[in-house]
Amino acid sequence: MFIDEVKIRVKAGDGGNGCLAFRREKFVPRGGPSGGDGGRGGDIELVANQHYNTLLHFRYNPEHRAERGRHGEGSQRTGRNGDNVELPVPVGTIVYDAETGELLHDFTEHGQRFTIAKGGRGGRGNMNFATPWHQAPTEHEPGFPGEEKHLRLELKLLADVGLVGFPNAGKSTLISRISAARPKIADYPFTTLEPNLGVVSVDDDRTFVVADIPGLIEGAHEGAGLGIRFLRHVERTRLLVHLVDVSEYTGRKPVDDFKIVMEELEGFSEELVAKPMIVVASKIDVAQDPKRLDSLRRLAKRRNLPFFAISAVTGQGLPELLRAMANAVFAPQPEEATEQS
């Protein structure tokens, strides 16, 4: 099961209460206040972990509470601090305040930490209130409450290349041929129900990550089909590879398929259609009418988009497509080129 959005409640530990105590010892001629401070409550930290790829572990455990600090004791003994709680999240998780919508943190690297809720400070014992003119204070403080927050966690997969297109356009077959990913492949639409990631090795020292996104249909950005749930996963990609089925089995024109998917991408986010894109005519091994392939090639040329014709089943055109994908992924980005200059 792929879970990419959850709501959770976190409660940091409360601080321990300060102690009210006085020394009453036989050989201590001058007694006095000896109440210690309470311990600090435990924090709740989110930690990015590359071994997690969904938020499923939060679905059935949505509440997390840290330990409170122990109360102060006599003889000026401070209470023990509460233990912190670490919650692992996948790399690519964005944390929002569920009540205000404020962006709190974006995890982009393995091992990143963020204290999402701070524990309460321990209360002061009565020894802190002693003064020369107030030598037997009875004042002491209760522990301060720890922070409590309602959070919305949203996962955006970190991939270099995103495969988009209509259902059954050949995206799963392609990722299975160029990587070790083994998604479900069948001859009916919506066989991909969740994003699949595959690592593609170009040579000994260059690899990139490809994400296979469930197919888009008309109205996807408004909630039709499955695509709206997963379009967010291509927002971080450097390159979009748009697969269009040019076989006759779809009953649709390849050019129309391309335009519909582009409209859905633009409807979700204008930044998506501005990303570098490669147009790929898929399933050319079963395409009988060359006009369907030519019409898509002309459309890509008018839009100044690189065009490749492939068959993921036979492997035709895959080496050329892989080189183009690698060149686009490893090409300096505009912001990187600016920094280098």
- Cβ-based neighbours of 243, under 8 Å, separated by 6 or more: 163, 164, 165, 169, 170, 171, 174, 280, 282
What whole-number distance in Å separates Cα of residue 261 and Cα of residue 218?
7
pTM for the structure as a whole:
0.66
Ranges 166-170, 177-181, 245-249, 309-313: which has the least confidence: 177-181
5-155 and 161-340, same CATH topology:
no
* C-alpha distance across the termini of the chain, in Å: 45
Q: What is the CATH number of domain 161-340?
A: 3.40.50.300
* pLDDT at residue 220 is higher than 50: no
Higher pLDDT, 235 or 204: 235
Q: Which residue has the tokens 């204008």?
A: 270
- Average pLDDT of the residues in 265-281: 84
What pLDDT, on the 0 to 100 scale, is given for residue 121?
94
Higher pLDDT, 95 or 269: 95
Q: Which two tokens stand for residue 250?
A: 């779809």
CA distances from 199 to 54, 207, 326, 332, 333 (A): 17, 7, 12, 20, 21
Higher pLDDT, 261 or 10: 10
Q: Model confidence at 215, in pLDDT bands (50, 70, 90)?
A: low
What pLDDT, on the 0 to 100 scale, is given for residue 230?
62
Q: Model confidence at 31, in pLDDT bands (50, 70, 90)?
A: confident
State in words which class domain 5-155 has.
Answer: mainly beta
What pLDDT, on the 0 to 100 scale, is given for residue 335?
53
Higher pLDDT, 190 or 7: 7
pLDDT one-digit tens code per residue, 37-94: 999 999 999 999 888 877 888 888 899 999 999 999 988 899 999 999 999 998 888 9
Ranges 154-158, 217-221, 237-241, 270-274: which has the least confidence: 217-221
What whole-number distance in Å separates Cα of residue 125 and Cα of residue 118?
21
What whole-number distance in Å separates Cα of residue 295 and Cα of residue 297?
5
Domain locations in the chain as residue ranges: 5-155, 161-340
What pLDDT, on the 0 to 100 scale, is given for residue 187?
45
> What sign for the dihedral angle of Cα 90, 93, 95, 99?
negative
pLDDT one-digit tens code per residue, 102-153: 999 999 888 999 999 999 999 999 998 988 888 888 899 999 999 999 999 9
* pLDDT at residue 1 is higher than 80: no
What whole-number distance in Å separates Cα of residue 215 and Cα of residue 63?
34
- Average pLDDT of the residues in 195-220: 70
Q: Model confidence at 213, in pLDDT bands (50, 70, 90)?
A: confident
Burial profile 199-210: b = 16 or more Cβ within 10 angstroms, e = fewer:
ebebeeeeebbb
Q: Model confidence at 15, in pLDDT bands (50, 70, 90)?
A: very high
